[in-house]
Structure 1
Amino acid sequence: MSESSLGAHHTDEPWQRLVAAALRAAYAWSVRGVHRNAAMREIARMTGVVMEVYGPGRGPVTPAVLVERLRAPLGGLLVDARQEVAELADVVLLDEEGNLTEKAYDLVCEHVVPLKEAAGAQRWLPTWVTMHSDQIRHRVFTAMIATTKQDEYVASRKFLVQHPAGGERDLVEKRDRTDGVRLAGGSYQDIPEEQTYRGPDGRGWWWRCPDCKWPMAVSSAGKVRCRYRPHSAVYDLLPGTRPKLRRRDDGPGAPLPVAQAAEGAKCVDAGVWRFVVVPGVSELRIAAAAERTKAEVQLWPLLDRYDLLVETGGEKFAVDVKECLSLNSLIDRLRTRPPSARILLPKPFRWQLEPLTDALPGLAVTTETKFLSQVRAAVRKAQ
C-alpha cells in the first residue's frame, strides 16, 4: 500500500471518535491486570470522549457503563452513525473473558483515528489503537527504514515482511547477512504474553502463522489462530512440556506450525504487523507470481510511490495493492487521496471490485487473478 501521498485526513466524524474511544477503552480493559492504574485512567478518559460526542446526559456516563457496552455490539454505541458503518454494527470488542476479540484487531483497527491531545497516546498504549493505519506505516518508513536509496528501502521493507518474528540472535544474523537492510533500534519487541503459551514448567512457547509468520494468539480456552481472520487456519493447543497444535478444520494439509521458544524471541509491533507485514505478504506473493511469467518486477518503486511495477518487454503495469477488510474505510481513503496507480485487490478481496467501482466510477481497479492473466498475455505477446 503506497505511502507516497500521506495527505491530511478529512475532518473526523463523531462516529469515528466513538470507534477510536471504544477500541482504546477495550484495549485498556484487556490489559488492566498489567497496567491497572493507567488502564483505569484511560477508560475514564475514553468515557469522557464518548460523553463529549453524545452530549450531556446521553450515552455511557461512567467507565463501568462504557465497559459493559463494549461487551455488546458496537451498533449500540454508533446510534447516530451513517449507514456506511453498518459493517461495524455487529462487532463486539470484548469477549466473555474481557479480552479483545479478533474483529477488534483485524477490522475495527482500520477505523481508528487519533483523538484530540487531551486524550492523546499514552506510552503503554500500542500504536494500532492510537493511530490510523497511514500514520503507522509512515512512522515505520521514515523512522525504522530511514533511507533515500531504493535498494535499501526494498531490502529493509522485505526483511520486515519476511521476518516479523523469531529468535533475537537469529534475526540479527539474518539482518547482517542480507545486503542493504537498514533497521533502527527497537524494531522488534518481546512477544506479548497473550501470544504465548506457558507450559507446566513455566517455559513459554509461540507459533508462527502459516501465512504472515507473526505469532498467533493463544486463548485461555486453548485455541490458537492468527488475529487476522483471512489467515484462516485455526488450531487446538495440545499442552505438554513441548506443546503441539492440532488443526481444527479440514483445511489444506499444510505442515503444522512448530512450537518456538519464547525466551529470547522478538516480534514487530502489532501495528507494524497489521499495516506493513499483512499487506506486504500479498504484495510479495503477487510480485513472485508475476516474476514466474518471466516479467520484470520492481517492488515499491520511487520509495513506494505505488507497490508494483511490472514490465513485460512491450508493456508496463503499475499497481497499488489494497488489502483492507473495511470496504467503507478503503473507499473513504481512496476518495480522500487518489492513488498513483491502478488499484489491485488480492484474491480474498475480489468481492470488493463491484462495490468499489460503483462508489468510485473513475477509479481503475483490477483483481489479482485478472492482473496476472493480463501480465501473462503481455509476456506471450512480447515473445
Structure 2
Amino acid sequence: MAAEKWCTPKVDQVNTRSTSASSLHDAEIRHVVMTAAAMAARALTGSDSSTDPEVRLKEMMDAHARILWAWGPGKPLTFTKFREMLTEDLSALLPDGVDAGEMSGFYAITEDGEFEEDSYDLEMEQRTVLEALDKASWNGRSAMGDRVSDELHQTLVHRELLKGRSQESYCAWRSALITTPAGTAGELRRLDLPAKLDEFYEPIRFDALYDQRWWFACPFCSWPMKITLHGEKRGSAGKVRCFHRPHARHGARYEFTVPDSGKAPELRPVGRPLKPEGNASVLFKDITDGIPEPTPEKGHRALVRGVWRCTTIPGIPELGLYDALSKPTLKKKEVAVALWPDMDTYDLLVTVSRERGARTEFKVDVKDYTHATLLADKITADRGDGGGADWLVVPDFRYDTVPMLEDVSRKWMRVATAGDFGARVCQEAGATWA
C-alpha cells in the first residue's frame, strides 16, 4: 500500500499518537477488568477444577484487588458489592470515563448460574487487540503485562510450527491440530508431530467428563464437549454442548437422562437446526444423521483450550475452503490454491488463471472472532493485515458481522463470508460453487 500523504505531518502524527494512546489505555483497563471478572466468576460458580473453598475465596479476593487497582483511589468497592456485581452487566465494573466497548451487555455468569464460556474468547480477543494497539501507540512499552496460559500456549505452538523443516511439514502439522484436536495415544502418535507440539495434548478436561469416565466429541470440531448436570437433585438430567457456541447453535447440543451407576449416557439432540441455504450450504456439515457416542476418558488426550480455540476453530473454514477450491472440476478451470503460503504469511492464496497469461490472485486471511468489534479494532490498529492479505474471510455463521467489518476494512481489504468468497472465486473462473 502506498504511503498516505499528510498535509500537516507533525500535527497529524501527534494526534494519531494521542488517539492510539487513549485507545490503548481504555483497552488495557477493559482487559484487566474482564480478566478479573472472569477469574472471580469461575471461582464463584465452581466451574474451576478446584473444590477447595479457601482456594476459590483467594481467587475472588485476588480478582477484587485487580478491580480496585483499575478503579484507582477515591472510589471504594466492597468485596460484598463486587460479588453481587459479578452477576450483572460487566461494563458496570469499569471505572468512570472508560468506554465500555465490547463489554457492554456482557455477563460472565449466565441466567442458570453457570460460568459464561464466551468469557475465554472475549479475554483472548481483547489481548490480541492490545498487542496491535501497543504497536500503534509508538510508546515503546508492553501493554500486555502477565500473559495467561491460553495465549502463551498458542504463541508457543506458532513458534514450534515455524520450526518445521519445510512448507510441507508446516501444513501437515497445522492441519493435524485442526483435524485431530483429541484422540488416543496411538492416533496422536500417527500424526507424527514434534514432541513440543505433542505436549499440548493433555488429559480430557474435568468439565467435559461425565462420572470422570466418559466424554463426547463435538461433531463439528471433534473437541470434548461441555457436560452439565441439572434437576432438583442436581443429577436427574444432563446437557452436553460444544464449548464453541456457534457449533452448539448449529446442532452440537444434546441432553440425556442420568443412567444407572457405571453406565454411559445416551444423548438426544436438542432441536433440529435448519441447514443454511445458498452459498453457505456448500461448506456446511450436516450432523443430523449422527449422535456422538460416549468415549472412555482413559487413554485419550485433547488439545489445551487456547490451541483449540485459536488453531482448530478458525482452521475448520480454512481447510474447508482449501478442499472445496481444490476440487478437480475447479482445477480444470485453472484455479490453484496454496494453504498457509510461506509458512503462514496469510491463510490462503487462490489464483485464477486465464488466457494469455492473465490471472487474478486472492490473498486471504480467515478470522473467527466471537466479538467482531474487537476484530474491527485490530484491523484498524494494524491498518489492514500485516501479512498483506487483501481479503478478510469470516465463517458463514458470522454473516451478520460483514457490513460492519466492510466499513472498517474498505481501505485495505475486502470482506466476505467463506461461502460468498468461494462463490466469488468460482464466478471469476466461470465455474459453479457447489
Question: TM-score under structure 2 normalisation?
Answer: 0.73
25, 28, 40: which one aligns with 1:13 = 28
The corresponding residue for 2:309 is 274
Q: Does 1:154 align with 2:199?
A: no
Q: What fraction of aligned residue pairs are identical, expressed as a percent? A: 27
Q: Does 1:378 align with 2:428?
A: yes
Residue identity matched to 2:352: T
CA shift, 1:318, in A, is 1.1
The corresponding residue for 2:339 is 299
Q: Does 1:227 align with 2:243?
A: yes
The corresponding residue for 2:255 is 236
SS in 1 for 2:326: helix
Contact 1:18 1:49 in 2 (8 A): yes
Mapping for residues 1-383 of structure 1, pairs under 5 Å: 10=24, 12-29=27-44, 30-31=47-48, 33-34=50-51, 37-58=54-75, 60-62=77-79, 64-78=80-94, 80=96, 85=101, 87-95=102-110, 99-112=114-127, 120=146, 127-128=149-150, 131=151, 136-143=153-160, 146-147=163-164, 149-172=166-189, 174-176=190-192, 181-184=193-196, 185-198=198-211, 204-221=213-230, 222-231=238-247, 232=249, 233=251, 234-240=253-259, 241-251=263-273, 253-292=288-327, 293-294=330-331, 295-313=335-353, 314-337=359-382, 338-339=384-385, 340-341=388-389, 342-367=391-416, 368-380=418-430
Q: 1:90–1:105: structure 2 CA closer, same or farther, 3 Å change rule? A: same
Q: 1:97–1:53: structure 2 CA closer, same or farther, 3 Å change rule? A: same
Alpha-carbon distance in 2 for matches of 1:316, 1:119:
39
Structure 1 portions without partners, runs of 5+: 1-8
Alpha-carbon distance in 2 for matches of 1:279, 1:35:
36
SS in 1 for 2:337: strand
Q: 1:336–1:136: structure 2 CA closer, same or farther, 3 Å change rule? A: farther
Contact 2:326 2:336 in 1 (8 A): yes
Contact 2:239 2:256 in 1 (8 A): yes
Which has the higher mean CA deviation after the structures are superposed, 94-103 or 358-367? 94-103
Alpha-carbon distance in 2 for matches of 1:67, 1:78:
15
Contact 2:94 2:100 in 1 (8 A): no
CA shift, 1:301, in A, is 0.9
Alpha-carbon distance in 2 for matches of 1:151, 1:38:
46
Aligned length: 353
Contact 1:26 1:93 in 2 (8 A): yes
Structure 2 portions without partners, runs of 5+: 1-22, 131-141, 231-237, 275-287, 354-358
The structure whose Rg is larger is 2
Cα root mean square deviation, aligned: 2.9
SS in 2 for 1:244: coil
Alpha-carbon distance in 2 for matches of 1:361, 1:298:
25
The corresponding residue for 2:15 is none
Deviations 1:192-235 (A, max 9, x none): 1110111xxxx611111111111000012211001111102210
Contact 1:189 1:266 in 2 (8 A): yes
Residue identity matched to 2:378: R
